[in-house]
Structure 1
């Protein structure tokens, strides 16, 4: 096991449901300095675990373990932290309670405070649903978070984003005839259709038109869809996926007691220096949505990743996109947050 467990005890979720014996799985890179001010929080995205974040961590990079103490907390529902596949009855599989991004960030804060005594965060960075968590950190703990850098992530599921996730979910629910009483019959084989649906959203029109999958070693479109999309989703637990989809569809950073649904107020309350990096061709976490958000965050820069890789411009696959993200993080970390 290449990660650690932080036991949270019985957690009262935002829904009011108590999740017993909850825990966060997390991995750290580097060392916490004496001042405890070299902290980077890098939450995981939908379907990802800490290993998928490691492409952005390394010597000489912005997230350099020789300089920073980098904490990668795993999303609740991702199979390592408390999830449908590892929680005992009566909260196993389809019975796992609904968990929000607000819940995730609150529990990550508990980890930082209780385990490490951290009171300041130099940067919260993340891709996709990790990006939403970066926004949530900035809104929930504006005095604690000095910088945020969401890439390929939005601060709420805008209506189109919600519909896209609903379509992904529907492709799985159709395997049991949309009968909620049969959800526990779902298997990983039922995830094949989910992969094929998501294949049309994860990458851009231009990516497919220009057959950029050849750069990944695939000879045909069919080989790419089966080899990447089907395989990656069929390796996921369907109940974990349903849990994470619910989290993503209800991830509005203002949907909590602090802001009572006032989205603009939540954005304006973020004090952190923000570098917001959408993929320029992202089809469901769009640059337009991010631009609206950036305009309302007091100290934000809007810097799209000019890429044909759509949502996956932030996935660590294309070296040009990776370099752009790393360069922007280096610049952001170089900026003083002292007023």
Structure 2
């Protein structure tokens, strides 16, 4: 076997343990020497955040709860001002991808270290990728300042997710794994992590969908959150391509729900790119999905877990579909294993929109 690749491991620490989030938060803040922390948690996460930080109240100097999806510029400015006014020396984010993203946008300009406690399977806590929406256009970038210094994973925090949100969030993580196979920085190490992530996520989502209880349910949740970690860590190195460019464009322009948009678009981008995948990657992805080919395996998984299937059901209108095609096409060329034309963008998005298109 002849190999020719480069791989840069990213700095950061992961602490994983069921029902241990509060203790792990305290130990990670202590380890990093953080004494004036801004807590970032949306209003829906306030009660959970209060419970998890009961033992470190003396270290929290302010709370920012103005979290919004896709991190609008006004939210970013407000969060940055709050951290500066309080003299914060670190950030503690407790919540989903939008919460992590808000902490990241503060870290981008301040350099403050982040301790991230994810409550969904977003995976963004493992990446140095930031996102900011200005005038309905979402901009993304990569900067090591936004990569959390510590990540606390506790499956007990995700086990209470409503079934629909768990499916969508899990498929968002799945999208990170799939795109890691063809991202601009993809290599054998990221593909290995991505395949393991796909396998863990699929098993966990099927356990969720089956209504498993007791030990089986706990094992499924552990698998889901472990898969999310693998998804984020593989995507962080491999980078983004066509799938994420589409989803970020649609989310920023039309305020579509982030995870659900990823879930709907993924099968269509995979079907488009499948013919261009190398034989080893195609086989690894198919095996991780327990199928003869990845497209069939992913579609079977979607059927098993009752996944969201169309952009129309997420609220996108026909007029917005056409606008969205134009927005994505204007960003071409996009890194991708197969060349993408404006007609290809239109075909992918029209298929994702659903029969109503």
> Structure 1 or 2: larger helix share?
2
TM-score greater than 0.5 by the shorter chain: no
* Structure with the larger RCO, 1 or 2 (CA within 8 Å, 6+ apart): 1
